[in-house]
Structure 1
Amino acid sequence: MSEIASVAPPVAGRHAGKVALVTGGGTGIGAATAARLAAEGARVVVTGRRSEPLKAVAGQISGRAIVADMSDPAQVKATVQQLIAEFGQLDLVVANAGAPSVSAVADTSDESWRASMAANLDTAFFTLRETLPALLQSRGSAVLVSSTLGLSAGPKVAEYTTAKHAVIGLAKSAARDYSGAGVRVNTVCPGWVRTAMSEAGMAQLAALTGLPGVAEAYAKVTEQVPIGRAADPAEIASIISFLGSAEASYVTGATIAVDGGADIVDLPTLPMTGVF
């Protein structure tokens, strides 16, 4: 497995004077993104359903934590109103909240389907809808976090795959409608990332397949990834920060795969790997 590359250091002042909202900001990609934006000068508000990790992140970055379920439109509305009341502006939104789900179509219950749509699609939609007035005023930007499962399909992840595909459609639609008014909307699609959620998945994979542990499971799922490893959350955060910055002023409606090259691999040629 390849060594983790050094992540480019924060760009001093890149987001100076901005106020940013990061949903799902207590752990993983959300926490790394909050830290990156704060290091680059933004005042950052993190939201999520669990108070303790949110407060820990906010304390580390001198930010603000608001406990809220972003799949509930009333709570999203209240969160945005509170943010505007406290900071007077909103310049960058990172819609990162989400949760995994595992089932094939025929095995998916009504309740499970609704729960996955709520966690992975409704959170992005309600966040974007409620923040658009402030973003239009600031001529700001939004970055929605999808997944490589928004570009393709894995085994028995019908709900999650569908929701993450829809997140990309949501971003494209918003970019089409609002970019002319100054609001850019883009999507990032992470591949395997070393987060607590992925660690749990790797532990389950190891148990089911007889692999020795999490490290070996990560090696197995990334063995055909050109870069040859899972990402560090900070690597995803750096791309999100770029998309939300003035450096990406002509980028909107884009879907960026941040997956170590996994999406470029042609499955029918895998048996030829190492032959030529």
Structure 2
Amino acid sequence: MTAVLTGARVLVTGGAKGLGLATARAVLAGGGAVAIADIDEAAGAEAVASLSQEGTAVFVALDVTDDASWERAIGEAVEAMGGLTGVVNNAGIEISHLFVDLDPDAVRKILEVNVLGTALGIKHAFRAMRPEGAAGGGGAIVNIASVAATIAFPGIAAYSASKSAVDRLTKVAAAESGRLSYGVRVNTVCPGLVPNAMGAQLAVDMERLGLFPSVDEAVGAVVSLTPSGRLATEDDIANGVTFLLSEDAAFINGVTLSIDGAMGM
């Protein structure tokens, strides 16, 4: 069931596709407005068009690794939606590699998008939603980490490290927001493997790296590690995100919500 988000105004990074788009759709289903923020402007425009019958959706161009891009995107979102009550730091990348073949440039790219991108998202969400900010009414931030932050799965070292960092950023941000009376809650969601484009590519990579004999066996290994006995869906994750954005979660702050079928327990 989608959380009630009447009056919410939420920016979702990486919102043009996959989990980001599913989250945007869930925000609209809950009665909120959404700003889809993405570096892919064509996909962003297409996503907004697909959501046009479901509620208020706008697109803002955003490179999550660029401070000035964040400042501009948040300003455009506040103006277009008439405020801001939530930011979902969903944008992320995964590049699989074995340690013996580790590519420093690939690691830097993962850390820039997943860690720096999330940190800048927190920065500019705080600036907008704290009492003296452009929106000024408080709100909620949800950072998307991964079950990879809680388990050791081969071939994804840099990605796992980046998502562990996202979880720790969340704890520090929640503490700062409380101490400085920003009125902004900050929580993390750790999704399990979702069979979308990123999840499918991961399975292909596991075969390519020689870690599993086939794509099917790679997927089967993940399912076998999941007590619930299946992969996650994008809706499973989006429903958890919208709950954390909603007033039903008003006293939930600094937590890590695992939506992984108990894979990471």
TM-score normalised to structure 1 length:
0.85
Matched, 1:129 2:103: no
Residue in 2 that maps onto 1:18:
8
Shift of 1:104: 4.3
Residues of 2 paired with 1:109 and 1:218: CA distance? Answer: 25
DSSP 3-state at the match of 1:263: coil
Name the % identity: 29
Q: Which runs of 5+ in 1 are unaligned?
A: 1-7, 265-276
SS at match of 1:187: strand
1:153 aligns with 2:152: yes
Note if 1:231 corresponds to 2:232: yes
In structure 2, runs of 5+ residues without a counterpart are 131-135
Structure-2 separation of matches of 1:88 and 1:133:
16
Aligned 8 A contact 1:175 1:185 in 2: yes
Q: Deviations over 1:166-214 (max 9, x none)?
A: 1111110010111343210000001111211111222444565454x65
Residue number in structure 1 paired with 2:25: 35
The separation in 2 between residues aligned to 1:201 and 1:152, in whole angstroms, is 16
Contact 1:218 1:229 in 2 (8 A): no
- Conserved? CA contact 2:96–2:202, under 8 Å: no
- Separation in structure 1 between the aligned mates of residue 99 and residue 252 of structure 2, nearest angstrom: 35
- What is the DSSP-based 3-state SS (H/G/I as helix, E as strand, rest coil) of the residue aligned with 2:141? strand
Q: Distance in 2 between matches of 1:177 and 1:221?
A: 36
User: What does residue range 1-276 of structure 1 map to in structure 2 within 5 Å?
Assistant: 8=1, 10-11=2-3, 14-62=4-52, 63-105=57-99, 107-136=101-130, 137-179=136-178, 180-205=181-206, 209-211=212-214, 217-264=218-265
Q: How far did 1:87 drift?
A: 2.7
Q: Deviations along 1:25-48, whole A, 9 cap, x unmatched?
A: 111111110000011111100111
Shift in alpha-carbon separation, 1:107–1:206, aligned structure 2, 3 A: closer
SS at match of 2:254: coil
The CA RMSD over aligned residues, in Å, is 1.9
Paired residues, number: 252
Amino acid at match of 2:46: A
> Secondary structure at the residue paired with 1:243?
helix
Correspondence for 2:133 = none
- Is the 8 Å Cα contact of residues 125 and 141 (structure 2) preserved in structure 1? no
State how far apart, in whole Å, the 1-side matches of 2:127 and 2:66 are. Answer: 19
Q: Radius of gyration: which is bigger?
A: 1
Q: Is the 8 A contact 2:129 2:137 kept in 1?
A: yes
The Cα of 1:112 is off from its aligned counterpart by: 2.1
In structure 2, relative to structure 1, the CA distance for the partners of 1:46 and 1:230 (3 Å cut) is same
Tell me the alpha carbon deviations over residues 12-68 of structure 1, each in whole angstroms, 9 at most, x when there is no partner. xx1111210000111111111000001111110011121232222212223111222
Offset from partner CA, 1:111-157 (integer Å, 9 cap, x none): 22221111111111111101212222221000000011122332132
C-alpha separation in 2, matches of 1:144 and 1:220: 27
| Contact 1:70 1:127 (C-alpha < 8 Å) held by counterparts | yes
Q: Which moved more, 1:229-238 or 1:104-113?
A: 104-113
Q: Distance in 2 between matches of 1:108 and 1:224?
A: 26
Query: What secondary structure sits across from 2:264 in the alignment?
Result: helix
CA distance in 1, matches of 2:118, 2:11: 12
| Cα deviation 1:230-254 (Å, max 9, x = unaligned) | 1110110000000111001110000
Quick check: 1:91–1:134 contact (8 Å CA) kept in 2? no
Whole-angstrom distance in 1 between the partners of 2:198 and 2:26? 20
